[in-house]
Amino acid sequence: MIERWKSWSSLTSIELGQLVNDDSVAVLPMAAIEQHGAHLPLSTDVDITEGILHAALEKLSPGSGPVLQLPTMTVALSPEHNRFPGTLSLTPEVAMSWIESLGESVARTGIRRLVMFNGHGGNRALMDMAALRLRELHELLVVKVTYPRFTPPTGWLPEEELRFGLHGGAVETAMMLHLHPEQVRVEAMSNAPSLGLRRHQAGQSLGPEGPAGFAWMAEDLNSEGVTGDATLANAALGERLVRHFAERTVEVLQQTREFDLASLALHRKG
């Protein structure tokens, strides 16, 4: 059987060194441990991020070497959820330092292609800053992926749910029902309309996300800390969503592996 990917931490140092070549790609899953209301566990972002990435890695076409999956960054930036029990969050400075140090370690192995695969919206600004630093300091090609930005096909869910069901809504709940049904408290699934949805329905263009958005804490959008209609979710929808996000991720991974590094400018010191 041709191996398409390997877990970084399962290899020996010698084995990993033997896998590194010009096409090698390291993937860093980025998620969060944070509240997801009464129906989903604190591990939701970790579970979904790893589930989608694993599905994508299994679909990869064989290359000159397997993609290497780094250990998941399970705790990152979640200050918008800090007022709810169970949320874990680093400071931006600590999180940046963690990613920069990890990226330096990846570069030290000889790998020049790094994909940040993110499943938590609160990590986007961190990812942007860290990616640029790693590009500047270590000559890495750093690709940034936040899977929720891969919008599902029209008709799978109401447009307003896709736009405003940002946290614990139908999308996340459906994927958890597919990936980890035993962890979903089905009896607690409910509809939690977002302040963003209410403003949209009132004809206001300024919302929590979009070209012009306001900073928000989770309780600003809904007092329960979640937004969206979880009652629209089911396992069949979750399977389709995971497959869709995985297929889009495969495209990114394969294009990262094929990217011509010679097209990037080098900034050698001295």
For the stretch 102-116, pLDDT in tens is 999 999 999 999 999
Residues 6 or more apart whose Cβ sits within 8 Å of residue 218: 35, 80, 81, 83, 84, 167, 225, 226
66 part of a folded domain: yes
205 part of a folded domain: yes
3 part of a folded domain: no
Residue 270: pLDDT band with limits 50, 70, 90: very low
Position 1 scores a pLDDT of 43
pLDDT > 60? residue 189: yes
Tell me the average pLDDT across 197-210: 93
pLDDT > 90? residue 6: yes
Residue 18, domain extent: 12-262
7 part of a folded domain: no
55 part of a folded domain: yes
pTM: 0.95
232 part of a folded domain: yes
Residue 268: pLDDT band with limits 50, 70, 90: low
pLDDT tens figures, 231-265 = 999 999 999 999 999 999 999 999 999 999 999 98
Per-chain mean pLDDT for the chain: 94
The Cα 49–Cα 45 span in angstroms is 6
4 part of a folded domain: no
CATH number at residue 206: 3.40.50.10310
| Overall size of the chain counted in residues | 270
Overall domain count for the chain = 1
DSSP string for 112-140: -EEEEEE--GGGHHHHHHHHHHHHHHH--
268 part of a folded domain: no
Question: Contacts from 128-133 at CB under 8 Å and sequence distance 24+?
Answer: 129/96, 130/95, 130/96, 130/99, 130/100, 130/103, 133/96, 133/100, 133/103
